[in-house]
Amino acid sequence: MPWNEFFKLRRRRNVVGTVTSIASAVLAASLAFNYFANLVIDFNKRVMGVEIQWIYMGAIVLSGFFGWLVGPMFGNQLFKWSIGSRRHAFDKMDDIFLRHVVRNRPDPSRNNVNYNPLSDFYGEKISSIRDYRHWLREGRLFTKKSEKFL
């Protein structure tokens, strides 16, 4: 599999993961809202000094957050199913790419937010060979600055 095709598939995997996260968060929150909306609420009731409707609203928000966290799991399976026979080649290229990132990323112990910030430690913004080369240059510049000024 060529690198350009790998980066296109990687971008598509990220988009599918984000879309499924949004969809599962909305679905989980709406199901929780539907459940709590159909309950009979006694407004005089308190749980540990907090009114019950605040507890219910917190539960709805937490269920939406849980849906957001579970979404990429479904998105990753959907993506793997959608690429079919190219899945093994994609997984192999992803493993090679991640080994490149681990080998070439700078030392994070010299990170200074004000003077020498470390950007994109995990290589998440890399979406082409050009971006990868730019990421390597930024890493070398970070290392040079950290050796010179720290």
- Closest residue by Cα to residue 76 from 91, 55, 56: 91
Tell me how far CA of residue 84 lies from CA of 4, 44, 50, 72, 89, in angstroms.
18, 56, 51, 18, 10
Axis-axis angle for helices 87-104, 3-37 (nearest 10): 100
Element (H, E) at 5: helix 3-37
Residue 35 tokens read as 């459940």
How much is the average pLDDT of 111-127? 79
Percent with pLDDT over 70 in the chain = 96
Residues 122-149: tens digit of each pLDDT: 888 888 999 999 999 988 888 888 777 6
Give the pLDDT of residue 89.
Answer: 93
What does the pLDDT look like over 14-60, one tens digit per residue?
A: 999 999 999 999 999 999 999 988 888 777 778 788 888 888 899 99
Q: 17-21, 34-38, 79-83, 105-109 — which is least confidently predicted? A: 105-109
Averaged pLDDT score across all residues of the chain: 88
Residue 150 predicted with pLDDT over 70: no
